[in-house]
């Protein structure tokens, strides 16, 4: 059985990606299983650059095929922010609730029709030799005026999906795993041979 390392210690992200990979013959680990690995610096200026940095770092230090994603929320009324700063939007150590509170406060005077936003995810899969392939996923929606729902994590409680009339956090996991930005990017990666250990084209 092949091993795949999910290059994160975020338990919510590990759980979500693991669900997407359910049924595959893979031994799935995360960076929590490799506590001695040095922390990677996300020095990229785009989701793609950061995903590649994280995937190659994990593959190098674990010696295993690694999957990393970099994702965030792009709000049109904020000129695409928080973007790659999504997890650091409210400062170091801020909670999901604090980040959502800051976002809603910045949009308090923004009318409903201008609260358009999207979740954008880039997944990178890297081999220990550094060969890498990338995949994109996007989910369009609107920012609500208050958090709703108990599922998911991050900005899910304030991200409204018009097709379902609910926030991402109100959707059951099986529905979110069909429509989310991360689901789309991970599912795209399943079609690529390197996911199972085949050679990949270098990026």
Q: Which residues are catalytic?
A: 70
Determine the Cα–Cα distance for residues 188 and 121; give it in Å rounded to an integer: 12
Question: What's the half-sphere exposure (Cβ side, CA atoms, 13 Å) at 38?
Answer: 6
Residues 201 and 133 sit within 8 Å (Cβ to Cβ):
yes
Question: What's the half-sphere exposure (Cβ side, CA atoms, 13 Å) at 32?
Answer: 11
Determine the Cα–Cα distance for residues 51 and 94; give it in Å rounded to an integer: 22
- According to DSSP, the β-strands at 65-75 and 2-6 are parallel
């Amino acid at each position: 059985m092949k091993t795949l390392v999910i290059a994160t210690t975020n338990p919510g992200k590990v759980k979500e990606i693991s669900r997407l990979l359910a049924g595959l013959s893979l031994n799935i680990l995360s960076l929590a299983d490799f506590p001695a690995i040095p922390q990677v610096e996300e020095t990229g200026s785009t989701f793609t650059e950061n995903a590649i940095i994280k995937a190659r770092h994990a593959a190098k230090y674990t010696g295993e095929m690694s999957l990393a994603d970099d994702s965030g929320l792009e709000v049109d009324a904020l000129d695409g922010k928080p973007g790659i700063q999504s997890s650091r939007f409210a400062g170091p150590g801020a909670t999901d609730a604090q980040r959502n509170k800051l976002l809603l406060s910045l949009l308090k005077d923004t009318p409903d029709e201008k609260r358009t936003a999207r979740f954008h995810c880039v997944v990178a899969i890297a081999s220990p030799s550094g060969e890498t392939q990338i995949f994109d996923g996007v989910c369009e929606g609107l920012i609500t005026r208050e958090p709703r729902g108990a599922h998911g994590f991050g900005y899910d409680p304030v991200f409204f999906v018009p097709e379902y009339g609910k926030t991402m956090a109100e959707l059951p996991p099986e529905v979110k795993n069909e429509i989310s930005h991360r689901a789309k990017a991970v599912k795209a990666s399943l079609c690529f041979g390197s996911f199972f250990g085949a050679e990949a084209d270098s990026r």
